[in-house]
Homo-oligomer: A and B are copies of this chain.
């Protein structure tokens, strides 16, 4: 007796189409009409699922962020030693950027362009990293990690991965397993006590 209801399939198709178009053509060449065509619906249908274009982008941002943090904290547990737990998360994030390329590229754009995501959504998105912040705080209490601002910790451990992903995207550089190991070592060296 399934009642007729908003089909989640269409919603997903629209988010995927947006992701793809914004990544490949840029925000300024991802018109609603193309998004609709790619998702195989009418332009008017978009407005059943999203209030407007900004809302569509915002929701895409939040779902990508959620997908990101699911990935980031896979297999993570509070029982792990600080360095072990940090390496697990760090490698999860690296893996996300290597395998979920479209989402990673989109998130990177959103985080670097001021005008793309509105402040409210950005604040919501920030919460996704809480377990990492907690880990860092524990590490600092245990005297394993430098007692410095989490922004500095992020800047020197997680943020560099965005650059490495971009360079890999542009075929300038390959993130081999060996390079990943080097990269993690650099990250750790920059924040360890």
Contacts and interface: CB of A to CB of B under 8 A. Distances in A.
A152 B182 contact: yes
A59 interface: no
A7 interface: no
Interface in A155-193: 155-156, 159-164, 166-167, 169, 172-173, 179, 182-183, 186-187, 189-191
Contacts of A156: 156, 160, 183, 186-187, 190
A29 interface: yes
A79 interface: no
Contact of A151 (B114, B115, B167, B189): B167
Contact of A190 (B108, B152, B187): B187
A27 interface: yes
Taking each of A105, A152, A167, A187, which has the highest tally of chain B beta carbons within 10 Å of its own beta carbon? A152
A148 B183 CA distance: 9
13 contacts: A3-B42, A23-B114, A24-B115, A25-B115, A27-B28, A28-B28, A105-B114, A148-B182, A151-B163, A151-B167, A155-B164, A156-B183, A156-B187
B112 A108 contact: yes
What is the predominant secondary structure among interface residues of chain A facing chain B?
helix
A166 B162 CA distance: 15
A154 interface: yes
A186 B158 CA distance: 13
A26 interface: yes
A109 interface: yes
Contact of A149 (B24, B146, B173): B173
